[in-house]
Amino acid sequence: MDEATDSNKDCLLITYVRFIDGDDMREELLFCKQITGRATAEELFKIIDTYLKEANLKWEDCVGICTDGARAMAVIRGGLQALIKRVSPNAQWTHCMIHREALASKQLSPELNDVMTHVIATVNYIKTRPVKARIFSALCEEMGSDHTAVLFHSESRWLSRGKVLSRVLELRDEIRIFLKEERSDLADNFYCNKFLMKLAYLSDMFLKLNELNLQLQGKNTHLPQLADKITSFVRKLEMWLQRVKVGRVDSFENLKSFIEDNKLQNTVIPCMEEHISALQKHFQRYFLMQDPKQYDWIRDPFSASPPADLSTPEEEQFIDVTSDSTLRLQFQSKTLAAFWIGVEKQYPLLGKRALATLLPFATSYLCEIGFSAVASIKTKYRSKMDIENELRVAISKLPPRFEKICSMKQAHTSH
């Protein structure tokens, strides 16, 4: 679940649900409700609780909730998490992994932050003045550039920073000429090789962070799958740090090309070491790195050992599952969720435990899709409409039950 404000300044709470439907899991929009008062934890809980009662759904069936780290959502005492725990003690709260990745990668050292500040100032100098933007575009066309514009930076967009840095690095020669002709002090930065080396490094690192962010996005993701992506990135950070310490920068293509093309000495290694070390600490802080093997018994029960905290009946069922040759064949042909749903029917204790890990959302990605759909549907020309039904039609994957819909309408016999 997540809340946001639309173009009409209405505050909306979008909630998705993942549930077992037959032999597989399904993700669907649960509801989209307007928040009429303040978006406090009590108000959010009241909206959700009212909807569940109207839909005859039980809180005790909820095994997990996923939100961002906002105070109203995440506070252990008094937040939405705490209120839900009171009515569903077994529900586990997950801080959206995409949100955590963005927080972990946000902090920059003063040295690199200066580079980012100057880049944003340069982009704003060009983009916020229509005449200058047209002149810059014409200059890029004359020089045969692949692109004719720089990109705005937006803190609210996950991939913004990496794309802005890459475009500025790509158009550095055009920007330098343009700023010199405009007699702007910002041109000095693009004559400084050290500044450009830092810019090249930042563009490389944020491209890698963008790749991780994209890997965390998507539908039907679960904690074991995304935990692997985070573990992989943290291991890469350690590898990059060790290579940078001995002067190897081949993992950073833009930086390597810039140094080789201009025959320069790499003078930004200390800055790189500091930033990569800081990233390691931030990822460890936000993801509380756990044993990467803790989910192995769910990913592949036929190759992994049972976890130490299984009860005796659960471990007995684990032995039954791993000794079942039919289930072994099914494991190779089914999705992980479908396999464990099938296991639960025969071995409920073990299956229920595995599904308690697979069923909860790991990110609030679907909410972002929902808000994008809201922005498309609720324009300034349709700002007063209640969009819940329209939103469901726009994004739901459920096939409409036309016969039931028609049976609820009275036919006009005169026609």
Q: Along the 415 residues of the chain, how does pLDDT read in single tens digits?
A: 988 887 777 888 999 999 999 888 999 999 988 888 888 888 999 999 999 999 999 999 999 999 887 776 766 677 888 889 899 988 888 899 999 998 898 888 889 999 988 888 888 877 766 655 665 566 556 545 555 555 544 444 445 677 788 888 888 888 888 888 888 888 898 899 999 999 999 999 999 998 999 899 988 899 999 999 999 999 999 999 999 999 899 999 999 999 998 888 888 999 999 999 999 999 999 887 667 688 899 999 999 998 888 999 999 999 999 999 999 999 999 999 999 999 999 999 999 999 999 999 999 889 888 888 887 887 777 766 677 788 888 888 888 888 887 888 776 666 5
C-alpha dist (Å) from residue 221 to 25, 152, 236, 261? 11, 30, 22, 42
Contact 159, 206 (CB under 8 A): no
Give the residue from 178, 148, 179, 152 showing the smallest Cα distance to 165: 152
Q: How far apart are CA 204 and CA 236, in angstroms?
A: 14
Reading the block at residue 42, the tokens are: 């009590």
Q: What is the dihedral of CA 395, 397, 403, 404, to 10 degrees?
A: -70
11-21/24-35 β-pairing? antiparallel
Give the residue from 391, 365, 369, 379 showing the smallest Cα distance to 34: 391
Q: How far apart are CA 379 and CA 388, in angstroms?
A: 14
What is this structure's pTM? 0.84
Per domain, the residue ranges of the chain are 1-96+363-401, 103-287, 296-361
Query: What are the φ/ψ torsions at residue 371 (nearest 5 degrees)?
Result: -65, -35
Give the residue from 223, 227, 239, 123 showing the smallest Cα distance to 171: 123
